[in-house]
Structure 1
Amino acid sequence: MTAVLPERVEVAIVGAGQAGLAASWHLVQRGVDHVVLERATAFHDWQDRRWDAFTLVTPNFQCRLPGFAYDGDDTQGFMTRAEVGAWLGRYRASFDPPLLEGVEVVGLTRAEDGFLLRTSAGELRAAQVVIATGGYHRPVVPPLGLRLPDGVVQVHSADYRNAGSLPEGAVLVVGSGQSGAQIAEDLHLAGRRVHLALGRAPRSARRYRGRDCIAWLEEMGVYDVTVQQHASGLAKRESTNHYMTGRAGGHDIDLRAFALEGMRLYGRLTDASDGVLRFAPTLAQYLDHADSVMESIKNDIDAHIARAGIQAPVEARYSPVWVPEEEPAALDLAAEGVTSVVWATGFRPDYRWVEVGVFDGTGHPTHRAGETDVPGLFFLGLPWLSTWGSGRFAGVARDAAHVAERLAARAGAPVPA
């Protein structure tokens, strides 16, 4: 059935992931006229851009959206991809948002009465707009991918599903952030020969001194630190997440241990020619950096425990289980039987459809806690939108409350009793 757009609404929300739905929940409660536009189906990214064995890295107790917390029986566990989709489905059903699926917004411009949205279902005018499409739009593949042999299958992490979806043979994974490290583990557990080119991603222990590290950090208020308060400032919005996993109940990802088990580790990928890839001598440096970040997090947890007088078990610190004896400089794909490459090299934002001047020189929106300098235009669902916690469900809920309050105030909606 073709979606029928209203001629005008007070608020148009673009995107029906967790951020768009969270904003809609607040507007429903405040009685603000709005519509949620989704080019595919609600929260489709959870199915389309996650591999089969994907689990959340954040524990289930952190899965809180406005009016709807985690409702399962494993608060300390980690929902799988399917479980997250089912949970979000129950969230949607709990308040029945004014959602139009299959409606793609192809253009957004300013108009005398607010904004004009050009969509696949026609035009829509809105006094205010929330762009809740996330920040991970276009998969990034380095240009040197064009120099790999034609017979080597290349997929981005967004399109990886499982080991069986790749041709037989060894696999090179490029990138060691959360996705790269977890996909390398997925392939390794499936018995594939894995080569992993590391980036400078940090890591964290899954648990320390009797609790999940994320539980400690939440208690310490780390996720409440704003981007303005952070030493790196706005540059923090480009940082790589710490790698760990929620798979099989949650555990550390120790690339050194994988190396002991036969995974081949390399430094930063720098070049490719005639089927031979070359790497910078950064392997030991990157491994040491990841471990140092993990240990610094433990230092912070120790200090918190001491300040608060908390009784917690003492735990021995990490000792490297493997140290590279040499830095591998090259990888001959044919000689090593590498038949496929998984690029876990991130995404770029793509806001070409937003024809409003609210972007910096790198294509990222400029805003403060989601509010831009253009009256009535907001962003939601971006990492570090306001705090470190903005990338987590609970952080999305807090950001959505703030943005919705601004929307309702501009709309003249009554303040709830």
Structure 2
Amino acid sequence: MSGVAPPPGAATERRTSVVVVGGGQAGLSVSWHLVRDGVDHVVLEAATPGHEWADRRWDSFTLVTPNWHCRLPGYAYDGPEPDGFMTRDEVVAWLRAYPATFSPPVREHTAVTGLLPGADGGFTVSATGPDGPETWRADAVVVATGGYHLPVVPPWAPALDPAVTQLLSGDYRHPGQLPDGDVLVVGSGQSGTQIAEDLHLAGRGVHLALGDAPRVARTYRGRDTMTWLADMGLYDVPVTRYPGGLAAREKTNHYVTGRDGGRDIDLRRFAAEGMRLVGKVGGLLDGPGGHRLGVAPTVRASLDAADRVYNSICADIDRHVARAGLEAPPGSSYAPVWEPGAESTELDLAAAGITSVVWAIGYRPDYRWVGAPVFDGGGRPAHVRGMTAVPGLAFVGLPWLHTWGSGRFLGVAADAAHVAERLRAGLLDGAGIAGAAASSSRRLAG
């Protein structure tokens, strides 16, 4: 740069071999391998490493996977409760201690705004850092920003009665945050059911609009169900060998909780205790400013489907115990503790005393800043175990990137190792990256 300062507002240009976008557990895991192998790189993090665990989780949040699942490269949970469930603050502290174990080259408060592949290979990454705009030239880029960026909210939500407070699940913190009155939680995945439980335990009137999420037992036959599943190899099955194949990436995770040492989430029991369960929300029945919602009569079907999955997983564990000749307490089958009566097709928020709505339908990816042809019709990256058809461009930290464990602490280390090795090999041999991408392209096409 000849020592001449760039004009005001000009982007500072830097060069490195690999840019890792995102400093969460996935990006840091890739960096660990690159540091170990002596690969020049930088991790660009919009805030601070692992910040989303603090910013998008409620106060009573706990992991739903046992602590022993928390294994990153060179770093694993070593606390006193391997079968327990870390709280939000414990997860944040655990993650924040990780970088100190290997000193990754993280640039904090540096938000990536654009990514373009070069005509002759390599990439240009645009970002805004603490000192203003900056540009990075790199041979390879790893996108490690996850797949949950934009909240899924019905298009008619802004037309809802303005007297009703609306909150995204990622912005919910505690029951006292919401105005007095009943709360409608829309969505029965992991976040929706746990937030509904949090409100229910606080004595709030809760109405839960059910979706299609399955559920799972917290413990079964003397052990945590997720420990059984890990022993059975379920978290290691590649998505291509999973029933339904790549469609598994669209599936909702099973709901359960690690709160208070871990327990089932039984929506039927909640209903017996006074929680109101309603079917899928369809839309406003009145005009702008309205408060009458149409709901589908799907409560019974949703509960029955979730229970079938619950019992089928328990039956899988029974077969595993029998095949392996293991000693374990007797098995059982869940029997419903409550049944819905006649189902309404309308929910009048005002008549029900509902003063707030928590949208917990989910989040979808937003990769509009990635200017490379690597996405399917739904805006999701097309890849083979993280490697795209564009030479040198990879993704990590996505649900079902390779296995069921990919979106969890348990599986991210293996995915990061694979991507880092493929990129390292390509950097050592210029044809390597192109060759790996060509192979991925053929497999995607096939």
The TM-score normalised by the length of structure 1 is: 0.97
Larger RCO (CA under 8 A, 6+ residues apart)? 1
Runs (4 or more) in structure 1 with deviation over 3 Å come to: none
Q: CA deviation at 1:355?
A: 0.4
Mapped pair 1:88 → 2:95: yes
1:117 aligned residue: 125
Aligned to 2:79: 72
Q: Which residue of 397, 405, 409 corresponds with 2:421?
A: 405
Name the residue aligned to 1:195. 207
Per-residue Cα deviation, 1:260-289 (whole angstroms, up to 9, x for no partner): 000000111112223111211111000000
Residue type of the alignment partner of 1:287: L
AA aligned opposite 1:370: G
Secondary structure at the residue paired with 2:240? coil
Match of residue 270 from structure 2:
258
2:121–2:391 Cα contact (<8 Å) kept: no
Q: Secondary structure at the match of 2:156?
A: helix
Equivalent in 234, 238, 258 of residue 222 of structure 1: 234
Distance across 1 between alignment mates of 2:53 and 2:16 = 28
What is residue 115 of structure 2 aligned with on the other side?
Answer: 108
2:336 maps to which residue?
320
Deviations 1:276-308 (A, max 9, x none): 112111110000000000000011000000000
**Which digits, 9 at most, give the CA deviation of each residue in 1:328-374, with x for residues without a partner?**
22221111111100000111110000000000111000000000001
- The aligned residue for residue 104 of structure 2 is 97
Work out whether 1:353 is the aligned partner of 2:369: yes
Letter in 2 for 1:227: V
In structure 2, what residue type is equivalent to 1:117? V
Gaps in structure 2 of 5+ consecutive residues: 1-10, 430-446
| SS in structure 2 at match of 1:334 | helix
**In 2, Cα distance between the equivalents of 1:349 and 1:316?**
39
Q: Which moved more, 1:4-13 or 1:151-160?
A: 4-13
Which digits, 9 at most, give the CA deviation of each residue in 1:211-231, with x for residues without a partner?
000000000000011111112
Counterpart residue type for residue 44 of structure 1:
H
Please give the alpha-carbon distance, in whole angstroms, between the structure 2 residues aligned to 1:124 and 1:301.
Answer: 50
Q: How many residues align?
A: 410
Q: How far apart in 2 are the matches of 1:231 and 1:217?
A: 16
Counterpart in the other structure of 2:293: 277
User: Quick check: 89-98 or 247-256, which moved more?
Assistant: 89-98
Between the aligned partners of 2:246 and 2:282, the Cα distance in structure 1 is 28
How far apart in 1 are the matches of 2:337 and 2:225? 21
Aligned pair in 2 of structure 1 residues 83, 51: CA closer, same or farther (>3 Å)? same
Residue 434 (structure 2) aligns with = none
Amino acid in the other structure paired with 1:307: R
| 1:164 pairs with 2:176 | yes
What is the aligned-residue RMSD (CA, Å)?
1.2
**Match among 252, 255, 269 for residue 243 of structure 1:** 255
For residue 147 of structure 1, report the CA deviation from its aligned partner: 2.9
